[in-house]
Chain A
Amino acid sequence: MSSDYPNDLRYTKEHEWARLEGNRATIGITKFAVESLGDITQVDLPKEGEAIRKDAVFGTVESVKAVSDLFAPCSGKVLKVNDPLSDSPEYINEDCYDEGWMLVVEVADLKEIEALMTAQQYAEYLKENH
């Protein structure tokens, strides 16, 4: 379980993860999300410089027959976008925690990240709810 949900990340109930480094957070979706979505065919992400708001929709991820919203784990400004995903969304399926990252944001309030679930809490959350 621990390798499915790395210990250095924080998790949301909507199955996004955030990795904090200084005041920057890298954001992606979890292995659970990837497995329930199936083969991902398209990702729509905000542009660099745009702001995202905690718990608000910041993008969508698509498989052949479904579209799912992405919910922001924290508020902040988008510093970097994983552009290769637009041509190769399969990176998310192949490695959702590394090559499949989505955004790097400048975190407005570090407490928002701290309030997210730890790997252990997320694993328990999954066991209870799915």
Chain B
Amino acid sequence: MRYLPHTEADVARMLKVIGAPAVEALFAHIPAAVRSQRPLDLGPALDEAALLDHLGEIAAQSRPAGAEGALSFLGAGLTPHHVPTAVDALLGRAEWYTSYTPYQPEISQGTLQAIFEFQTIVAELFGLGVANASMYDGASAAAEAILMAKRVTGRGHAVISAGLHPHYVATAETYLSGLTDSFQLAPLDDRTGRTTLSELGEVSCLVVQSPNYWGVVEDLPALAQAAHARGALLVVATTEPLAYGALESPGACGADIACGEGIGLATGPSLGGPGVGLFAARTEHTRKLPGRLIGETVDHQGRRGYVLTLATREQHIRREQATSNICTNQGLIALAFTIHLCLLGRRGWRELSALNLAKAEYAKRQLASLRGFSLRYTAPTFNEFALRVRGGDAARAVEKLAEHNLFAGVAENDTLLVSVTEKHRKGDIDRLVKELNEVLP
């Protein structure tokens, strides 16, 4: 057992110091009635070579959309981008991944400063004053945003746009199920694909995703005005932060809280997790934030340093009155997101965003002009758009193409959701157009 260093001589010496006759004696106080009656049955232990063979066999049973030889236009809440090699190379430093939550700041300045930089970047992207050290993912971040809006406004009921990712809606429903709060869905306009609002009542917040699940860019300033007119907060969620390289930030559009998912810019898709939940808000709501916060301060010699701060909001101090039960964040993925955004910088961020927009618009025009395909919605989109497929069953077409490792998009009934990014060359897009054209009867 390469991870267990104890020799039999070690064990004997240690038992002598302890004053116990055998290792088993250390468990003697556990009543027999609750002791395991048989050894664990987990299969044989594997040496490293056998282990790699075994895992290799399992890995080979999937056909990854993100591997060489495959061509994927899958998005729908997770838009994979090209993550530069330097990100994972730096992430592989054990000082990052084998350290714990930075409770001892004197020997955790690396993590603390990196997450401080992450908070800065998230606040900048969203155009808001303050961001936390990350949430589990975009869905739970959106649910936490609804709970935070309740703390700010004192109101329980929320309105959620039907354009919010279905997993996010479902997660919000789960989070609210134990409380007396509820929400209603605001439908999308069937033509534009944008959220339509009937009369907003006395609600805590309006939650919209932009670009929404169908890729449509929402008119955030109008939605902010509608929410604020009733004393409600505007919560903007996003599954594609890169859109805000081209779009005005949620904060500048009037959002009070912005949240989202950063996995596509941080790591490989990894079946959707671990990712990183982004969470930002207006500065005046700082003390209502869920999750960890890192702040700048000085040491006794006046040197700049960073600490976990405003912890009295959190569960380990305020227990049942905490702003959230969250403890663990997604620190390492937040770090990956930070490194990538630093590599891109101002110019790279803008250019990457422009590349995505241009490629998606090219694909959109080509596909919409195919016989049997039309655009589902008219409002502008960023790097994902919905097509209506003649004959209704988009899923069958997608499945057929997937057999040849062409993942054409996410199908729902007669709609095909296609995500196009910087990873797609013109030739890739042309191939998608050609194959979709051929597969449709």
Q: Do chains A and B make direct contact within the complex (CB under 8 angstroms)?
A: yes
Instruction: Report the stretch among B115-123, B165-173, B310-318, B420-428 that lies at the interface.
Output: B310-318
Interface centre among B311, B312, B318, B321 (most CB of A within 10 A): B312
The verdict on A120 contacting chain B, using a C-beta distance below 8 Å, is: no
A1 CB within 8 Å of chain B? no
CA distance A130 to B10 in the complex (A): 49
Bound CA–CA A50/B255 (angstroms): 30
Answer yes or no: A115 CB below 8 A from chain B CBs: no
**Chain B minimum-CB-distance residue to A67:** B312
Which B residues are closer than 8 A to A by beta carbons?
Answer: 287, 311-312, 317-318, 321
Bound CA span A86–B17, Å: 56
Does A118 lie at the interface of the complex (its beta carbon under 8 Å from any beta carbon of B)?
Answer: no
The secondary structure that dominates the B interface is helix
Complex A-B: 15 CB contacts under 8 Å: A41-B312, A42-B287, A42-B312, A62-B312, A64-B311, A64-B312, A65-B311, A65-B312, A65-B317, A66-B312, A66-B317, A67-B312, A67-B317, A67-B318, A67-B321
A62 neighbours in B (Cβ, 8 Å): 312
Number of A-B contacts (CB under 8 A): 15
A 62-73 to B, binary, CB cutoff 8 A, 1 in contact else 0: 101111000000
**Which residues from 21 to 49 on chain A have a C-beta closer than 8 Å to any C-beta of chain B?**
41-42
**Neighbouring A residues of B311 by C-beta, 8 Å:** 64-65
Residues from chain A with a CB closer than 8 A to the CB of B287 are 42
Q: Taking the nearest CB of chain B, how far is it from the CB of A69, in angstroms?
A: 10
Closest CB-CB distance, A117 to chain B, in whole Å?
A: 29
A41-B312, A64-B312, A65-B317 given; name 9 further pairs at CB < 8 Å.
A42-B287, A42-B312, A62-B312, A65-B311, A65-B312, A66-B312, A67-B317, A67-B318, A67-B321
- Residues in A with CB closer than 8 Å to B318 are 67
Inter-chain contacts of B321 with A (CB < 8 A): 67
Interface string of A55-93 (1 = CB under 8 A from B): 000000010111100000000000000000000000000
Specify which chain B residues have a CB less than 8 angstroms from the CB of A41 in the assembled complex. 312
Complex: chain A residue closest to B321, CB-CB:
A67
B residues in contact with A64, CB < 8 Å:
311-312
CB-nearest residue of chain B to A44: B287
* A37 CB, nearest partner CB in chain B, Å: 12
B322 closest partner in A (C-beta): A67
Residues of A within 8 A of B312 (CB): 41-42, 62, 64-67
